[in-house]
Amino acid sequence: MRVLVSGGAGFIGSALCRRLAANPDHRVVNLDSLTYAGNLASLQQIENRTNYRFVKADIRDGARVGTVLEEEDIDVVIHLAAESHVDRSIDGPEAFVETNIVGTYRFLAAVLAYWKALPADRRERFRFLHVSTDEVFGDLPFGDELFTEETPYAPSSPYAATKAASDHLVRAWGKTYGLPVLVSNCSNNYGPFQFPEKLIPLVILNAVNDRPLPVYGKGENVRDWLFVDDHAAGLETVASRGQPGRSYNFGARSERRNIDVVRTICRHLDRIRQRPGGGSHEDLITMVTDRPGHDRRYAVDPSRVESELDWRPLESFDSGIARTIEWYLANEWWWRPIRERNYSGDRLGVGVK
């Protein structure tokens, strides 16, 4: 595949670029504007590969996007570029509207113009995969119900609403203009290279620095946790073998309450890294006032992608969280500059993407 990945310097995007570029048969072009969460350090292991190229550009710059598509003769676009942090969307929703809605519209317009100019056989092979979130489905009651591809959209936060809008735009471009689109919606991702304001890296890094571990409300909100490399493998599978016009939900069948995620991290750290002065890392847990519109539960049914494309996650939550903790402990070179430059660890980032 000759793949353009938008947002490839972000958490999921960089995992996808690393995976794709490891295959010499792929050509990988990473288009990213390098906002606060974009980090080229996450791509050091592939930056010198001959089948990889980074382009600093904004998805709203249709002319630049079109030029890159033509220069690289792209046949697959995987669209991940987005503002993705719920707390930030509550504080400042305009940036989410600009990137997730306006940006996706302009990106689609550039891709459509490029696709229309391709020869018929190339148009037939072309794919546009839009990567979204389970948060578009809204608040799921506690119980046995799971989000499926047919679940109605009911977003609760500005972040989720703007992602829902982008999903609708992509599907409309497929229906109206014939662009071969696919949509994926994933559960909470975690793993190496995740921006330090998100729940799991925040807890790991605050714990090793003996700082409070903030948890919203009673910590009873439930999320399904998917290891990022498993998600990247799924995206490659859908991009190469998915059916245009279909959507695919990615989940790990690994639901956990937020408080249990935090306690799992603390207990693992207790086994491998003693706190200064002794005691358990769980003593650092601090319950704080819940955020507005905090959905109780997200849980995804991945049956379609399992049955149609034979995708399964390789990591359990226990194995994945152990790998993640060990990676953060061993890679201070990556996260320390971010904490010092962008993010002190005081801002809450608990419980979401």
Name the catalytic one among 75, 83, 87, 135.
135
Q: Cα–Cα distance between 9 and 24 in angstroms, integer?
A: 20
Which of 52, 105, 114, 159 is flagged as catalytic?
A: 159
Alpha carbon distance 28, 202 (integer Å): 30
Catalytic one among 58, 75, 83, 134?
134
Best CA proximity match to 287, nearest among 251, 263, 312? 263
Nearest Cα to Cα of residue 208 among 48, 325, 66, 347: 325
Query: What gap in Å lies between CA 270 and CA 149, rounded to an integer?
Result: 40
**Dist. CA 251–CA 242, nearest whole Å:** 17
Instruction: Sheet with 2-6: list strands edge to edge.
Output: 52-56, 27-32, 2-6, 76-79, 127-133, 181-186, 247-250
Quick one: residue 175, left, alpha or beta (phi over 0 = left, psi -120 to 50 = alpha)?
alpha
Beta bridge partners of 28: 3, 52
Q: For residue 20, how far is the Cα from the chain centroid?
A: 16
Q: State yes or no: is 159 an active-site residue.
A: yes
Q: Vertex 343, ends 350 and 255: CA angle to 5°? A: 20
> In the chain, count of helices (H) and strands (E)?
13, 12
| Nearest in space to 130 (alpha carbons), one of 68, 186, 195 | 186
CA dihedral in degrees (158, 77, 305, 89; nearest 10)?
A: -10
Catalytically annotated residues? 134-135, 159
